[in-house]
Structure 1
């Protein structure tokens, strides 16, 4: 997607707005939690704040500014903006590929003036296009390892689109070293730990263990401790607690930036700070796009910023045929949460669907039809197939309905190879789902 930007000349550079620039990107960085916002604040500061650096006329702590004409981009697009945030488990000296330890999607609605953040559990069992079923955190690894066009980031984006219907134009990838440094450059963060954490098997940088303990209560965390707090799964809720803690860290960073007027000092140190952080970040957002999005974020009230996790009410545990313990989606629950967070951009199924049971499992077609109906599909027929020994599930589509077939395959956790075009479906439908023995009812 090509962003719509308009450049406007502003004579007074508002440091309060620069704080919003920082906060916007803090909200969206998951594993990086604030790194990209450093980059943006520093690069923009270098461009417009030479008087501060030379000592000519520094701004006051109240947000006063100096008189220099500054061309500041403005976001004029009306479509929702989605940004994929990946925190990678990159260890020192390793060339990769890497799995993603953190997966989040930040979203901004420029028309409704709202924003949100979605956390996705890394053990979620999904279809990775071209690679079959696997944990969602392997998409980035597989894309880099096997030369997927655009690499691991592109395959992670396509995996999100295929399984959730969320189109993503932008990405930010951050490693853990950059995260630690970013928190330390803020002077640490303050948060209240709801329960004591004791993790004797917290991983170190060399595939060993670095035991981690943190007492319950309100305290100040440096970058290293904040990273451990955001990564550990050694509490009763496992990965669900871990996602909640990551969002707590986001709130803590945001609170620190708002509460302390830190920007003048940080801007003065901009060149050295960016040099410290730059190796840990990769993004396709340009400086102008980030500034424009920050101006948009400045107009969004706090009560219209939401944080959502795909949690235990939207998933169920599942053991794969290979014995791996993973999570699978409850499609209608996930769909409801995504529609609430992302709004009407999520595509509805514009197709008529028939479901046939080609197995000996009683009521299978009805259960699948009910699930699809809860996702907004129009079910026109439920019944049995012409026989009950079909080994494989197929989605038979009429010519021109391939996209609807891919959408249903994503909802049901079926690979793209399950879709087959048929000239005559012999029903008043656009898609015929013929359930076979391999259908993954979980």
Structure 2
């Protein structure tokens, strides 16, 4: 069994596929291919001497290209993605737009039992060529979201449902659509990686350097071997312990801590590959690395696109890589109708976290605008509402005919973005359903009711970050009683 900082051999049990296949596709396919790019540039003559088992993928053809290039090596990359037939069709990348990849690890206990797998890990990796930045965002597997066509479920069931019902694009397509709808972030590509290839890849890198922030007990898959890591102590983890570190969840923060550790592993692999002392190893091991990649991943990224992404990724400064985890402050803990533990998203907090990860300058919300010295902002009491531009549906749930229309007109005259006015379910108390984080708009409605001497409307968070409306307001008899004696002007 390989241990920290030294290698000894013990008898190993046969490896049993466990519930984590985790994370690192883009590190595999982007950074590993990036290492090959570096190898091509540094040791062209050495590359010409490679002899490797024929594979679908990278073909070294020293005879191709412009004859005037004095023997420069040309890498011929196939255009097709590395995925089973019937997988989701990717949109071509233009080379300049932000590109986001959903990285998935599957629950191999399902596979071992002969069942269709659920996702155990979901991570978004996003690259922005224009700002030369990247971001990594982890999504908890127990998040309670709308799975298109299947109502509300844990987010980790999307892949399973897409596979078991044989939907177009299969599990990857439905998983991508679900995460895209949940966060409102366009997702171009997906990737899956198996943990055996992950272990082998780390071993070829001679391990990765990790400095844990808390004590962690590592349990190696397929073995009774365990290793204790001490907070603040930098260690070099071989493949099996790196995988154990990425999958460990028995710390105070549970799955939230594990998501952070997985991001640590991604960045540690990046740092290891870009360490100049690794170049001789990469030169010698690049054919092996490529074979491991070809055997261990499924993705709708073509090699050509991966090559482009690699060229960009190796030039991103470490300080320009954001890491974001949806943590306990962004969710409410609850139970599903069938009694499962679930995480209910808090939309305004999820939105701010999303913007932090996927916008170059970070979120620009009401708190930021409230500090503005712009006269156009400070002189207009509804400036924050106008800046949010929340899409509202105004519905009449009261006894007073025409209440939705008169209230919509009143709000529209003050800068509210009213998208719909209609009848709704009967209600004594005005109720707001909040789908996206629009705190200034909600507060303005609260203020309106307070000025009328009424209690604040009831407020419920609903998950639909990419839906038709940001808020639905169902006007109750409380508002009707006020308006009937105090006409809106």
Indicate whether the TM-score tops 0.5. yes
When residues 378 and 83 of structure 1 are mapped into structure 2, their CA distance, relative to the original with a 3 A threshold, is farther
- Counterpart among 333, 341, 362 of residue 357 in structure 2: 341
Deviation of the 1:331 alpha carbon: 0.4
Between stretches 337-346 and 256-265, larger displacement belongs to 337-346
Mapped to 2, the partners of 1:259 and 1:39 lie a distance apart of 13
- Structure with max Cα Rg: 2
When residues 196 and 69 of structure 1 are mapped into structure 2, their CA distance, relative to the original with a 3 A threshold, is same
When residues 170 and 376 of structure 1 are mapped into structure 2, their CA distance, relative to the original with a 3 A threshold, is farther
Structure 1, residues 16-42: CA drift from partner, whole Å, max 9, x if none?
A: xxxxxxxxxxxxx82457332475257
When residues 322 and 197 of structure 1 are mapped into structure 2, their CA distance, relative to the original with a 3 A threshold, is same
Determine the structure 2 residue equivalent to 1:226.
Answer: 242
When residues 362 and 214 of structure 1 are mapped into structure 2, their CA distance, relative to the original with a 3 A threshold, is farther
Mapped to 2, the partners of 1:70 and 1:297 lie a distance apart of 22
- Counterpart among 136, 148, 154 of residue 135 in structure 1: 154
Contact 2:162 2:172 in 1 (8 A): yes
1:52 aligns with 2:46: yes
1:197 aligns with 2:223: no
Structure 1, residues 348-398: CA drift from partner, whole Å, max 9, x if none?
A: 8774422566476956x14x3596533989999999xxxxxxxxxxxxxxx
- Counterpart among 91, 97, 102 of residue 84 in structure 1: 102
Mapped to 2, the partners of 1:179 and 1:156 lie a distance apart of 22
Mapped to 2, the partners of 1:273 and 1:326 lie a distance apart of 39
Structure 1, residues 40-79: CA drift from partner, whole Å, max 9, x if none?
A: 25775898765214569xxxxxxxxx97545689x86432
Task: Report SS of the residue matched to 1:171.
Answer: strand
Mapped to 1, the partners of 2:141 and 2:470 lie a distance apart of 34
Q: TM-score, normalised by structure 1?
A: 0.67
Contact 2:125 2:137 in 1 (8 A): yes
Cα root mean square deviation, aligned: 4.0
Deviation of the 1:238 alpha carbon: 0.3
Mapped to 1, the partners of 2:96 and 2:440 lie a distance apart of 26
When residues 160 and 301 of structure 1 are mapped into structure 2, their CA distance, relative to the original with a 3 A threshold, is same
Determine the structure 1 residue equivalent to 2:320.
Answer: 304
Determine the structure 1 residue equivalent to 2:228.
Answer: 214
Task: Report SS of the residue matched to 2:333.
Answer: strand
Task: Report SS of the residue matched to 2:465.
Answer: helix
When residues 267 and 41 of structure 1 are mapped into structure 2, their CA distance, relative to the original with a 3 A threshold, is farther
Deviation of the 1:255 alpha carbon: 2.2
When residues 213 and 301 of structure 1 are mapped into structure 2, their CA distance, relative to the original with a 3 A threshold, is closer
- Counterpart among 316, 319, 330 of residue 332 in structure 2: 316
Determine the structure 2 residue equivalent to 1:295.
Answer: 311
Q: TM-score, normalised by structure 2?
A: 0.61
Structure 1, residues 400-420: CA drift from partner, whole Å, max 9, x if none?
A: xxxxxxxx86239xxx9xx9x
Determine the structure 2 residue equivalent to 1:13.
Answer: none
Determine the structure 1 residue equivalent to 2:200.
Answer: 181
- Counterpart among 255, 260, 282 of residue 266 in structure 1: 282
Structure 1, residues 223-244: CA drift from partner, whole Å, max 9, x if none?
A: 1111111112100100111011
When residues 342 and 221 of structure 1 are mapped into structure 2, their CA distance, relative to the original with a 3 A threshold, is same
Determine the structure 2 residue equivalent to 1:410.
Answer: 464
Deviation of the 1:141 alpha carbon: 1.6
- Counterpart among 338, 346, 354 of residue 394 in structure 2: 354
Determine the structure 2 residue equivalent to 1:30.
Answer: 23
Deviation of the 1:306 alpha carbon: 0.6
- Counterpart among 147, 151, 172 of residue 153 in structure 1: 172
Which structure 1 segments of 5+ residues have no match?
1-28, 57-65, 384-407, 420-428, 437-442
Contact 1:317 1:326 in 2 (8 A): yes
Mapped to 2, the partners of 1:106 and 1:71 lie a distance apart of 29
When residues 298 and 224 of structure 1 are mapped into structure 2, their CA distance, relative to the original with a 3 A threshold, is closer
Deviation of the 1:268 alpha carbon: 3.2
The alignment covers a number of residue pairs equal to 352
Mapped to 2, the partners of 1:430 and 1:255 lie a distance apart of 41
Deviation of the 1:127 alpha carbon: 1.2
Deviation of the 1:179 alpha carbon: 1.3
Determine the structure 2 residue equivalent to 1:60.
Answer: none
Mapped to 2, the partners of 1:180 and 1:376 lie a distance apart of 50
Determine the structure 2 residue equivalent to 1:331.
Answer: 347
Between stretches 89-98 and 217-226, larger displacement belongs to 89-98
Determine the structure 1 residue equivalent to 2:481.
Answer: none
Structure 1, residues 126-157: CA drift from partner, whole Å, max 9, x if none?
A: 11111222211121122111111101100110
When residues 101 and 375 of structure 1 are mapped into structure 2, their CA distance, relative to the original with a 3 A threshold, is farther
Determine the structure 2 residue equivalent to 1:373.
Answer: 438
